[in-house]
């Protein structure tokens, strides 16, 4: 059997609440080994090594914890007896962690994130089955070289494109209009598509980090003041605009973006619309000060911009990075 390292970070999968209830619980309370005791059949899938790195609600995940998790995985995959990695994680911010790992892990070994929508104390908790399938996926030869994946509710998603689309159903994730990578039937994965964006060993960002540039996110809404941008620019090297429609905003924001860009702030345009693509725009950004996020959400565009700014401050070079990742 393969040997899989399980790195626990907390989340609902380790949550505790009133017996049987699915709401009003505290995430990140149970040790990963206690969860594994409820799924003894998992020991027929792989040899397991467990690491309780964090035990927090995923809203407590931040850049420091991303770096700690990524650096730990980059160390573990160097061990010959580790065949794959599973990370247990809260669902609220799993899409940001998965994208950070997609960009920074230096391995072809399978890395799978999973979690739960129901706490461990709920009736029909979904965490144990998700964890069982995540270990099964990480143990399967077909998962090699697929990049970072998220396994949830029988479905395999790419770490780049996965997003939370529901806050109460157990089938809580989607991947925009691209579809998923594949599906699980019990312990067997079936892949139907692949990701063509650069990731893991093909990423220029693959490696360990101990600091990241600061990047803020500004949500545009009807009547939003441009003061928001000036305030963010005081403490951030870059700003991701989460605009309306195709990443759009009003004239005051446009003027502020042009002014701040001339002073060195790097801007990325994304959209608050759940599905769609943000391209360059001659009307809202006639001088091409902004970098288009393409299909990345605002929160994922922030992850890429932080890493891009670690490499270069040149706007045109960052534009090329966004086209590739």
Q: Which of these is catalytic: 9, 12, 88, 107?
A: 12
Strands (E), 72-222: 84-88, 111-114, 148-152, 155-158, 163-164, 173-174, 182-185, 188-191, 215-219
Q: What tokens does 276 get?
A: 């769609």
Backbone φ and ψ of 22, nearest 5°: -100, -5
Q: What tokens does 129 get?
A: 């089955």
How far, CA to CA in Å, does 48 sit from each of 6, 74, 124, 130?
Answer: 7, 18, 24, 16
For residue 92, the Cα-to-chain-centroid distance in whole angstroms is 10
Nearest to 138 by CA among 221, 203, 73: 73
Q: Which residues on adjacent β-strands are paired with residue 282?
A: none
Nearest to 243 by CA among 260, 264, 267, 227: 267
Helix (H) or strand (E) holding 7: strand 3-10
Task: Let me know if 12 is a catalytic residue.
Answer: yes
Coil, strand or helix at 248: strand
Nearest to 197 by CA among 83, 67, 304: 304
Cα gap 132→50, rounded to integer Å: 14
Q: Residue 241 class from Cβ within 10 Å (0-12 exposed, 13-18 middle, 19+ buried)?
A: buried
Strands (E), 125-187: 148-152, 155-158, 163-164, 173-174, 182-185
Catalytic residues: 12
């Amino acid at each position: 059997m393969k040997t899989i390292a399980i790195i626990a970070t907390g989340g609902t999968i380790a949550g505790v609440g009133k017996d049987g209830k699915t709401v009003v619980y505290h995430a990140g309370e149970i040790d990963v080994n206690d969860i594994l005791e409820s799924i003894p059949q998992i020991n027929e899938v792989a040899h397991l090594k467990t690491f309780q790195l964090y035990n927090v609600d995923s809203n407590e995940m931040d850049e420091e914890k991303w770096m700690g998790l990524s650096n730990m995985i980059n160390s573990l995959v160097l061990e010959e007896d580790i065949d794959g990695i599973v990370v247990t994680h809260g669902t609220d911010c799993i899409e940001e962690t998965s994208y950070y790992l997609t960009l920074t892990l230096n391995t072809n070994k399978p890395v799978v994130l999973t979690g739960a929508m129901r706490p461990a104390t709920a009736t029909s908790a979904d965490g144990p089955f998700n964890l069982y399938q995540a270990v099964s996926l990480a143990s399967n030869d077909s998962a090699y070289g697929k990049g970072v994946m998220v396994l949830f509710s029988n479905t395999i998603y790419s770490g780049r494109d996965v997003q939370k689309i529901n806050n109460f159903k157990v089938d809580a994730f989607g991947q925009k209009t691209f579809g998923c990578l594949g599906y699980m039937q019990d312990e067997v994965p079936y892949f139907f598509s692949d990701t063509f964006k650069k990731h893991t060993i093909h990423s220029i960002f693959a490696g360990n980090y101990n600091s990241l540039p600061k990047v803020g996110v500004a949500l545009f809404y009807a009547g939003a003041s441009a003061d928001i941008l000036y305030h963010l620019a005081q403490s951030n090297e870059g700003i991701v605009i989460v605009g309306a429609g195709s990443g759009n905003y009003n004239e005051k924001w446009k003027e502020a973006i042009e002014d701040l860009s001339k002073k060195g702030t790097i801007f990325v345009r994304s959209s608050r619309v759940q599905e769609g693509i943000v391209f360059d725009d001659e009307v809202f950004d006639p001088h091409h000060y902004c970098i288009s996020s393409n299909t990345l959400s605002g929160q994922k565009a922030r992850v890429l911009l932080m890493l891009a700014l670690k490499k270069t401050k040149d706007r045109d070079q960052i534009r090329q990075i966004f086209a590739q990742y």
